[in-house]
Amino acid sequence: MSNMRNDWKLKEVLELFDKPFNELLFDAHDTHIKNHKKDMVQVCTLLSIKTGGCPEDCGYCSQSIHSEEPIEATPLMSLEEVKKQAKLARDQGSTRFCMGAAWRRPSNKNIDRVIKMIDAVHELGMESCVTLGMLSEDQAVRLSKSGLNYYNHNLDTSREYYTKVISTRNYQDRLNTLKYVRESGIKVCSGGILGLGESRDDRAKLLIELANLEHHPESVPINMLVQMEGTRLYDNKKIDELEFVRTIATTRIMMPNTYVRLSAGRESMDESMQALCFYAGANSVFYGEELLTAPNVEVEKDRQLFNKLGMKIEGDNDQIDKLNNSKLPKIEKKQNIYNLKLIN
């Protein structure tokens, strides 16, 4: 395992970004195979357990009440529906089940209900992850005592660019939640979004914020902006595909032991671009047809791509062994695990 650094400077990170493309990818791939099982991909599933009605004004998000075309708010999903979706995700090869709720911060009553969902995920033999907004120190401790494995709380972009994307909270609010999560003993999942209109300097500064934490996040999701109608960032200029791959490679070099996850925006990437990202050090994906409110690559297409690339799903159970050694049957759209039954 490579030594973890927490002293990255902007100049040296920009020098990584500026390397000739093939040299950067070679260095990133070399770092990757020294620290992770090669040709293995971690598969996670993300389920929206409470959609819409969020008071935050994130410029990229249709779940915000500030969006011109906000998604209709839904109540918190029933425990039985969560169990059903988690079991289906497990049977399709996911080893981690992440549940997201569109809250600024959860109430203690809602924490109680989410803890029951976490218990249900663990009963299925899966790792748990939640993303619920900002947490208090006490709430982080409660989630830790429940056995929660991961908490996702993205920084989104650089400290300097953050106010151009979000005004209803500040960057330190995000860092405080990460601090409480880490101190409680929960593993950290935190990354960012590319294509918000940020510069390369902003992308480098985002990675510096993450890599210079006392402990690197165990998971770093790198998202490509999914443009949602009605949001302030709709019709933003898309990030160059090779720049996205460069960011994946730089992330891998700076945080060698971290799982680097291809997250939102993957449905717009062709197989060649995804293959470059995997070579550059990405070793985790979200599996399924939808990420919260954005489309994602279908399960069957993912399996076909993994087969083409000679990649295997990471995990150690009979179900994953079976999936790695057999063809996944065609899944009809009606079986979309995000056709959700909600309670009032």
In a domain, 2, yes or no: no
Model confidence band, residue 294 (pLDDT cutoffs 50, 70, 90): very low
Is the confidence at residue 86, as pLDDT, over 70? yes
What would the mean pLDDT of 170-177 be, rounded to a whole number? 95
Q: What's residue 314's pLDDT?
A: 83
Q: Among the options 113, 142, 182, 261, which is catalytic?
A: 261
Per the annotation, the verdict on 54 as an active-site residue is yes
Model confidence band, residue 264 (pLDDT cutoffs 50, 70, 90): confident
User: Percent of the chain having pLDDT more than 70?
Assistant: 85
In a domain, 112, yes or no: yes
Is the confidence at residue 165, as pLDDT, over 90? no
Per the annotation, the verdict on 246 as an active-site residue is no
Is the confidence at residue 203, as pLDDT, over 80? yes
Q: Among the options 44, 90, 96, 129, which is catalytic?
A: 129
pLDDT tens digits for 299-337?
Answer: 778 888 888 999 988 876 555 555 566 555 443 433 333
In a domain, 328, yes or no: no
CATH number of the domain to which 93 belongs: 3.20.20.70
Read off the DSSP letter of residue 266: G
Nearest residue to 91 via CA among 259, 334, 317: 317
Chain centre to alpha carbon of residue 185 = 19
Range of the domain at 116: 10-34+43-321
Kindly report the CA angle at 134 between 291 and 114, in degrees rounded to 5?
65
Q: What's residue 341's pLDDT?
A: 30
Is the confidence at residue 177, as pLDDT, over 60? yes
Query: Residue 253 and residue 220: Cα distance in Å, rounded?
Result: 13
**3-class DSSP state of 26:** helix
Two tokens, residue 39 = 């040709």
Counting Cα atoms < 13 Å in the Cβ hemisphere of 220 gives 31
Q: What's residue 216's pLDDT?
A: 97
In a domain, 22, yes or no: yes
In a domain, 194, yes or no: yes
Per the annotation, the verdict on 44 as an active-site residue is no
Is the confidence at residue 70, as pLDDT, over 80? no
**Is the pLDDT higher at 1 or at 93?**
93
Q: What's residue 329's pLDDT?
A: 46
**Is the pLDDT higher at 11 or at 95?**
11
In a domain, 142, yes or no: yes
Could you tell me if residue 20 is left (phi over 0), alpha (psi between -120 and 50 degrees) or otherwise beta?
A: beta
In a domain, 281, yes or no: yes
Q: What's residue 251's pLDDT?
A: 98
**Average pLDDT of the chain, as a whole number:** 86
Model confidence band, residue 293 (pLDDT cutoffs 50, 70, 90): very low
Q: What's residue 258's pLDDT?
A: 97
pTM of the model: 0.87
Is the confidence at residue 235, as pLDDT, over 90? no
Q: What residues are paired with 41 via a beta bridge?
A: 313
What would the mean pLDDT of 221-230 be, rounded to a whole number? 82
pLDDT tens digits for 37-46?
Answer: 888 999 889 9
In a domain, 174, yes or no: yes
What would the mean pLDDT of 87-105 be, rounded to a whole number? 89
Q: Among the options 44, 182, 189, 252, which is catalytic?
A: 189
What would the mean pLDDT of 120-142 be, rounded to a whole number? 95
Per the annotation, the verdict on 189 as an active-site residue is yes
Residue type, 339: N
Per the annotation, the verdict on 277 as an active-site residue is no
What would the mean pLDDT of 261-289 be, rounded to a whole number? 88
Query: Residue 151 and residue 187: Cα distance in Å, rounded?
Result: 6
Q: What's residue 66's pLDDT?
A: 64
What would the mean pLDDT of 108-118 be, rounded to a whole number? 96
Is the confidence at residue 126, as pLDDT, over 90? yes
CA dihedral 73, 76, 77, 80 (to 10 degrees): -160
pLDDT tens digits for 13-67?
Answer: 999 999 999 999 999 999 999 999 888 999 889 999 998 877 787 767 777 776 6
Domain count, the chain: 1
**Is the pLDDT higher at 188 or at 330?**
188
Is the confidence at residue 116, as pLDDT, over 80? yes
CA dihedral 179, 182, 186, 192 (to 10 degrees): 60
